[in-house]
Chains A and B, each alone.
Chain A
Amino acid sequence: MMQRDIKRLSLILLFAPFALWILLLIILPHLGMFYISLREKVGPRMYEFGLENYINFFTEPIYWNTLIRTGSMSLLVTVLALLLGFPIAYYIAKIAGNRTRGALFLMCLIPLWVSDLIRAFGWILLLRETGIISSSLQWAGLINTPIEFLYNDATVIMGLVYTVILFMIVPLVSTLDGMDDAMIEAGYNLGGNGPTVLRRIIIPYAMPGIVSGCIVVFMLTAGSYLTPILLGGKNSSWFTEQIYDQFITRYNWESGAAFGFLLLAFTSLVVWGGLKLSGQTLNSTVARS
């Protein structure tokens, strides 16, 4: 009896930090935000309850266009990160020796030791019109006039891929690591060529890693703020910027909160759709890796 109580107590104590974290830092603020998002401002210090803030979003094309733009660019980033990350992860997990593996992992990690902001400034130094790349191309005689690489969508996408690719590589490595080399050999022995083995054996096996990597990368990208703002140009609006503007420059917390929830709903919807399409579940992917 005593034993059981102790066990129970230690379970509660172990669980408490997590429960407090979720309750105080995730659930309560969200409830507060949700409450704010349902308030309509009708005058100074006067509010009414209603869905006006959400309706505004759908009636104003600028807002949902920005959200769709953010969503589609985030999907593109996710696909690019997967295409680039998969070979790297495969090399680390399957081809590299035990010793080089650690070194390679470390090399993927190192950029993350520097803050987002500093990395973005690094890109700016490299890519600006009078920056390192443009001036070295000029020096090499490849171009005659300076080229501006900054301030366009391609730069934003590249910067984002660079920022998030690690979150694609890690789950991929851990899934691929668990795969028995014998399966690949068997594939070849049974007459499969490279692409067939990749398509019918490796990818299906790595699917949980692929899906969980994609989910994390998509969420991080759609919710990122610094990279799109600093590298983006005159036309590149990002939805998080919209939320910031509502909260800070327009003093409009009500619609900012509504936008926050719409972003959450939208990304959740995309993730749900992705899971349905790939035939995976959250349990078999994110929870496993």
Chain B
Amino acid sequence: MIMKLAIAGLLATTVMAAAPAQAETLRLLTWGSYAPDELVKKFEEKYPDITVEVTFSNNEEMIAKLRATGGAGFDLAQPSHDRIYAVQQEYNIYKPLDLSKINTDTMQAKLLDGVKANTTIDGEVYAVPHQWGTSGLMANKTMAPDVKAWGDLCDPQYAGKTSMRLRRTILLGMAFDMGEDPFAAYADLDKYQEILDKVADKLISCKDNLKAYWKGGDDLSAMMMSGEIVASETWDSTAYKLYGENKDIVFVPPKTGALAWIDTFAIPRKGEADDAAYKWINFVLEPENVKTMSASTGAIAAVEGGKDLLPDDKKAAVNAAFTDEDINNLKFFANIPAGVEDMEGKTLEKIKAATGSE
């Protein structure tokens, strides 16, 4: 009796949920600030039959959410380019893109080809680029003028005044700093484990030098603005934002190269509004919309001349940070092969659990 009622109730709710709404809904799964209200409004005005619902997330949570439903619940997602290939092979959560529906001509050819190469499985392309940016260092020029490399965060002259996020970025950065090439080692996981072990030793001995591990852009900004720390590992967009408030705080591309990521567009396997999704992709890549988007995100759009479409203050911050040489030195995140997340996760746990060098 109870069971029957329950099943009837469940059926009723699922039927209601599945019934198509009058207007089409585009459920967007993206990063905080990647869907500014202004653009959403403009999009809805242009396409009155589409309503946009936005969920803010990050790479790991996007994948976890899509994995939980087998790729249902969202119509467009924006994971980084290195999070498509292995994830798709393992969990099958995206569907191939129909490139004829996307204005790929507006995209910067080099980035488009790079993302395509990274996300092609069995001849099908699963993602196209949206915006790119870098991870590197941030320093207060007046207090820490000599911070130039990842390893400088462990320099004792800044003891207790540096920070980093305990995630894979710092593992990779530190590996480059120690003269290794972690991306090349992805092909040989034993070699990669060796590198990780070395990096772990370095980061464990470095622990005493740090004030704390930052967890999000907000606590990093608070520590940096208050002067509690003078240098940190950072996303470039966070550094650009702070540069707007304090010209002494600049983004520093490490001398071994800033690590570059490209956030992409990918359509979840059970997405229900593909046409709306393609419309959104083309819409946000229109030059005047790129300007609004970049102002909100602080990242550079993957269109020709994307850097020039940044708002003036961000452009100034980028120019203060990057020379052409730095741009040529960028290290784009390589595809994460299956199993690497686990190895890196173990390493991060080891570092977190270690109680410093003494």
Contact = CB atoms under 8 A, between A and B. Distances in A.
Contacts of A234: 207, 210, 212-213, 352, 356
B67 interface: yes
B2 A235 contact: no
Given A249-B345, A250-B345, A251-B64, A130 B207 contact: no
A151 B212 CA distance: 7
A233 B60 contact: no
Interface residues of A, number: 34
Interface string A244-258: 011111111100000
A128 to B, nearest CB: 7
A24 interface: yes
A65 B338 contact: no
Interface string B211-249: 111010001001000111000000000000000000000
Given A249-B345, A250-B341, A237 B352 contact: yes
A4 B167 CA distance: 64
Nearest to A62: B353
A198 interface: no
A16 interface: yes
Main SS of the interface on chain B?
A: helix
B342 A250 contact: yes
Interface residues of B, number: 39
A248 B60 contact: yes
A129 interface: yes
A44 B60 contact: no
A45 B91 CA distance: 7
Contacts of B222: 128
Nearest to B342: A250
A66 B353 CA distance: 8
A130 B227 CA distance: 8
Best-buried of B63, B64, B67, B355 by chain A (most CB within 10 Å): B64
Contact of B212 (A19, A233, A237): A233
Contacts of A235: 207, 352-356
A61 B174 CA distance: 25
Closest 9 A/B residue pairs (Cβ): A250-B345, A130-B226, A62-B353, A44-B90, A151-B212, A248-B60, A129-B228, A249-B60, A248-B64
Given A45-B91, A62-B350, A252-B342, 5 more contacts: A16-B5, A19-B2, A44-B89, A234-B356, A235-B352
Interface of A: 12, 16, 19-20, 23-24, 44-45, 62, 65-66, 124, 128-130, 148, 150-151, 229-230, 233-235, 237, 242, 245-253
